[in-house]
A and B are shown apart, each in its own frame.
Chain A
Amino acid sequence: MTKEGKKNMNKIRTIMAMLIVLLVANIMTFPVSAYDANSPYTVTVNYIVPNDTTFTVTLAGAESSIDFNPGNRNSTNVEPDSQNAGGSTPIATIVNTGNIPQTFGVNITSAQYAWVAVTLSNSNDYSNPITLSATKQTPTGWSSISAAASIDAYMKADFTDAPGGTLSKTMEINSSVS
């Protein structure tokens, strides 16, 4: 064998050795598979539901939260900023931007303060109101909302000996497929 041939042979041996080392390292590094030849793990798609569950909440004016500012500690029928029930401008509308009918519910994430009662209705005359609480409720008119349709939230609050300062609650609007 020529000198050049020996050099090439050595190169091949080196590469072979490196490949063996890599192979062994792979076997040692990867976790042992749960595969069992007698009962192999298989996955098949049963079905896919091509529904789009999207919704959009719009607020009045430039509001990004629902703020009540009572004139005094015992104010009643206080509307949130930017709402104008008399002019048919609700504080929030919820649009079903998905492609299936949805039913919407509303709640606050913890018990309401004792000094305030917030009511919510789908109508600007506040008919069939619900009083916001930690329990999820579906206001009249919020059930089986078809795709592209919307519902309104007209809100008002009654304050009784309210403390000063800014206090807040988190409101959740939930949807479920009708």
Chain B
Amino acid sequence: MKMKSKAAIMLIVLIAIASIFSLALPRKSNDLPDDFIQVKRDMDKGILYGVCDLKEDYWNRPEFYPTWEKYRSQTHDFSRWGVTGFGAFPSLISYNVKDMKAGDRLETCTYVRSGWNIETFQGLHLNMDHDQSKFDVNIIPGDLLLSPTYPELIEGWTNKVKITIVAKEDIKGTYNFRLRGESPSPEKTKEYYNRVMNMKDYPFYECGWFDSKCNEDIVELRKKTYYNGGTFQADKFFDIEVIAH
């Protein structure tokens, strides 16, 4: 009888410990595609030439991004919170084009995601700095609502962004295109804000029983936060280089 009680107590303690860890760590996705490691290998080496052809099963996984393993096991500092941050992977693609004439197009992609440990929803408008006299550029999607990456990765934390460059005239020389993350328009901001405020049942952090450092009032104030992105931004986000012969 005593043995059974001890076993039961041990089981309860183990479940409690597991619960604490499951709250402290972001979710790790399972069921990776069979050739995920090979695709990631080529992506990390910069030899995955069909960047736009990647299926969602690959780019919508945290393991696809080179820094995930480092961050997923970090201890969370509850005295602070991740308010904003984003970036792109890959950060630069260079193309050689030959005999690009008016109407010819070039399509490329990158994957724009929230920084790790971000607890807010971030609105972002994507814009491209480029030579407008020679090229038209179309970015899809042009606006993003990036979801949090903490305490869990919420659908929308990463997005495939497709960029189409169309020549306006015959092209020779080297041209640079620089993606920028800016604040969305007032209309889009309102739309995103309302979308976040009307969200239900998405995961957010709750103070655990043994979490003496966690302040429930502060945690409550952090929920359902929409942040207009673009005020903090990286000069180096996503660049395209076109070398035209």
Contact surface of A with B, Cβ cutoff 8 Å: 31, 33-34, 36, 39-64, 89, 93-95, 97-100, 102, 147-148, 170-177
Contacts and interface: CB of A to CB of B under 8 A. Distances in A.
Interface residues of B, number: 62
B77 to A, nearest CB: 8
A177 B90 CA distance: 14
Interface in B76-129: 77, 79-104, 106, 113, 115-118, 120
A170 B84 CA distance: 14
Contact of A49 (B84, B91, B232): B91
Contacts of B93: 45, 47-49
Given A36-B101, A48-B51, A55 B82 contact: no
A48 B106 contact: no
Contacts of B120: 64
A33 B166 CA distance: 12
B45 A50 contact: yes
Contacts of A44: 95-97
Given A59-B81, A97-B115, A172-B232, A52 B89 contact: yes
21 contacts: A31-B103, A41-B98, A44-B95, A45-B93, A46-B243, A47-B94, A48-B46, A48-B93, A50-B89, A50-B90, A51-B90, A54-B115, A55-B87, A55-B115, A56-B82, A56-B117, A57-B83, A57-B85, A58-B77, A97-B71, A97-B117
B218 A40 contact: no
A41 B96 contact: no
Interface stretch (B132-140, B195-203, B221-229): B221-229
Given A50-B90, A57-B85, A60-B79, A177 B67 contact: no
A58 B117 contact: yes
B46 A47 contact: yes
B48 interface: yes
B234 interface: yes
B87 A53 contact: yes
Given A43-B95, A97-B87, A176-B235, A52 B46 contact: no
Contacts of B83: 57-59, 63-64
Given A48-B46, A56-B82, A56-B115, 6 more contacts: A44-B95, A50-B45, A52-B66, A53-B87, A54-B234, A57-B85
Contacts of A53: 87-89, 91, 234, 236-238
B71 A175 contact: no
Given A36-B99, A46-B243, A97-B115, A54 B94 contact: no
Contact of B67 (A47, A52, A59, A172): A52
A5 B216 CA distance: 82
B57 to A, nearest CB: 19
Contact of A46 (B91, B94, B236): B94
A46 B96 contact: yes
